[in-house]
Chain A
Amino acid sequence: MNVETSKYNEALDRYNKKIADASVEDMVLNMGPQHPSTHGVLRLELITDGEIVKEVIPHIGYLHRCFEKHAESLTYQQTIPFTDRLDYLASMNNSHAWVMGVEKMLGIDKDIPKRIEYIRVLVCELNRIASHLIAIGTYGIDIGAFTPFLWCFRDREHIMGMLEWASGSRMLYNYIWVGGLFYDLPVGFEERCREFVDYFKPKMVELNQLLTDNQIFISRTANVGVLPMDVAINCGCSGPVLRGSGLKYDLRRIDNYSAYPELEFDIPVGKGLMGTVGDCWDRYKVRVDEIQESIKIVEQCLDRLQKELKRTPEFDPRAKLPRKLTPKIQDYYARCEGTKGELGFYFIHNNERSEIPFRSKVRGPSFNNLSVLPELGKGVMIADLIAIIGSLDFVLGEVDR
């Protein structure tokens, strides 16, 4: 190997030496990729001194499925099922972001009928509730509370059932298409959804009594893993992680896309009620509050869908589907608020007759939220590290793409 190429291996050599040195002086502990509390196939290498974590080195890529390479050879429409598999707990939000980006490039984003916009927002918010329920439930299990996990999965199952009814699939929906939807909502969906909302509201009160105000849970999470706001911004955190640090920043309000400007909802932020602003409890609480806000949005969508935007026999959600998805030559960065934070797609389109992007890049919110872990994990106890990992709520499908 000549001198030039060894420059590229410098960092790897440095890393190998660090691990070799640490195994002599401290202990190197391997956590994952099959450890249940790493929420998927995340591997953490911990350099520990007794119970104290000196350094966290995350290793990702165990779930790398070459999304960006695939997207270079598939058309915009064909890539939608692939976007579902990024953050597989919130597939609707992913395809919504992708579809909005493509519609914006085609210049048809203003022609989408109101009913379609509202259905999109409705299913996205239902999916957001489902995703946050998993985040809360598995967080409980990380801390040692088993019951909330079962309760959350029981309630999530109702959402899965409804979305399966609408799209035909339980998790990976392929429901939102460029210019429209796969199908209209099934007859009776709105009523069933309303039943679910009425059933779900008291369940959230119960869940709060069981977990949120639980003294054991608070002592495990309050004042643990404090993420100051400036660090959160500089590290590119977004979504509940950034809002947990006290910044009121939600792209649904900033960008005002889709039907969100017509809907009433608040943006919950971390207030440090149980400890310091930006600790694990705050991040958890933001998700609980966001579920309440999402319920509000769902109810407003249902009001509209049952009154002025009622279904009509001649309504066809595929009527506006463009025949050819050929945008003009341009670069476009589309972003929207996914369940985990700012979900962005960057398209480079350089051929007017082609339906395939020259390059597309995903900005996964989990990827950026996870990159703050080495910062947060310095000098904490191993048990607290588990609490920190859970509070970041990442999905490895999106980290590894």
Chain B
Amino acid sequence: MSFDDIKLLLTQKFGETVITGEERIGMQPALLINPDHIVEVCMELRNNPKTYFDFLSCLTGVDYGEEACRFGVVYHLSSIPYHLQLTLKISKENDRSEDNLPSFPSITSVYRTADWHEREAYDLVGIFFEGHPDLRRILLPDDWEGFPLRKDYKAAEYYKGIKVD
């Protein structure tokens, strides 16, 4: 099943509004999905006997830079029975303030792998996942301030009153 077939399958099932665009530069084309529908799309791709994308290879939280003010999540799905790979992308604009993190639906109900991956994206990039069962920091201490993989992150001068050299 090719990239276009998958796109057609999704538009037939959910209508035109679900897929907001596509990226065809490079070797791995990506589908841009409306963030509100990502759970249904993943569920359909996983359960449809024509695709069976049963394995979530990778989930990446991305900060698209200070000027863009845009955050996104990239999903790499792969289908073990058909040896297919697919990239899905969702993104949203955000003002980068600490009180208003960019928020996306969590796909832990579809793939349990996403649990730790989403915690990592929350920890390092500061993306909030609605409906995640246990969204705590995972790699950094619970009392860490800021999100290090954001492009505007400044390393703190003091950690708990101790000067960092």
Contact = CB atoms under 8 A, between A and B. Distances in A.
Interface of A: 2, 4-5, 7-8, 10-12, 14-15, 60-61, 64, 66, 68-69, 72, 104, 233-236, 247, 249, 254, 328-333, 335, 342, 344, 346, 348, 358-359, 361, 363, 367-368, 371, 375, 400-401
A234 B111 contact: yes
Nearest to B155: A69
A236 B83 contact: no
A401 B117 CA distance: 13
Nearest to A63: B139
* Centre residue among B60, B87, B99 by max chain A CB count within 10 A: B60
Contacts of B16: none
A5 B141 CA distance: 18
Nearest to B119: A11
A66 B148 contact: yes
B113 A332 contact: no
Given A60-B138, A60-B139, A331-B30, 4 more contacts: A8-B101, A69-B149, A236-B113, A363-B58
Nearest to A358: B65
11 contacts: A5-B98, A5-B99, A14-B134, A60-B138, A60-B139, A68-B149, A236-B55, A332-B28, A333-B76, A333-B87, A346-B60
Given A233-B54, A331-B26, A359 B62 contact: yes
A82 to B, nearest CB: 15
Nearest to B61: A361
A371 B30 contact: no
Contacts of B54: 233-234
Interface string B10-40: 0000000000000101111010000000000
B124 A333 contact: no
* Centre residue among B54, B98, B149 by max chain A CB count within 10 A: B149
Interface string B109-128: 00111011000000010001
B80 interface: yes
B43 interface: no
B9 interface: no
Contacts of B134: 11, 14-15
Nearest to B101: A8
B27 A346 contact: no
A368 B116 contact: yes
A361 B28 contact: no
Interface in B30-82: 30, 54-58, 60, 62-63, 65, 74, 76, 80
Contacts of A346: 58, 60, 74, 76
B80 A233 contact: yes
B140 interface: yes
9 tightest A-B CB contacts, nearest first: A330-B26, A236-B113, A61-B139, A363-B58, A371-B116, A361-B60, A11-B135, A64-B139, A11-B136
Contacts of B115: 371
B100 interface: yes
A247 B80 contact: yes
B83 A2 contact: no
B55 A331 contact: no
Contacts of B87: 331, 333
A61 B141 contact: yes
B142 interface: yes
B101 A249 contact: no
A302 B116 CA distance: 41
Contacts of A359: 60, 62-63, 149
B148 A12 contact: no
Given A333-B76, A400-B139, A68 B124 contact: yes
Contacts of B149: 68-69, 72, 359
B74 A236 contact: no
B130 to A, nearest CB: 10
A387 to B, nearest CB: 22
Contacts of A344: 57-58, 76
A330 B27 contact: yes
A371 B139 CA distance: 13
Given A5-B98, A331-B30, A254 B55 contact: no
A12 B140 CA distance: 13
Contacts of A254: 83
Contacts of A401: 139
Given A104-B27, A330-B27, A331-B30, A367 B116 contact: yes
Contacts of B138: 60-61
Contacts of A68: 124, 149
A262 B113 CA distance: 33
Contact of A361 (B23, B58, B83, B141): B58
Given A5-B99, A344-B58, A61 B140 contact: yes
Nearest to B134: A11
A60 B136 CA distance: 12
Nearest to A254: B83
Contact of A333 (B28, B112, B128): B28
A4 B124 contact: no
A337 to B, nearest CB: 13
Given A61-B139, A234-B112, A331 B56 contact: no
A254 to B, nearest CB: 6
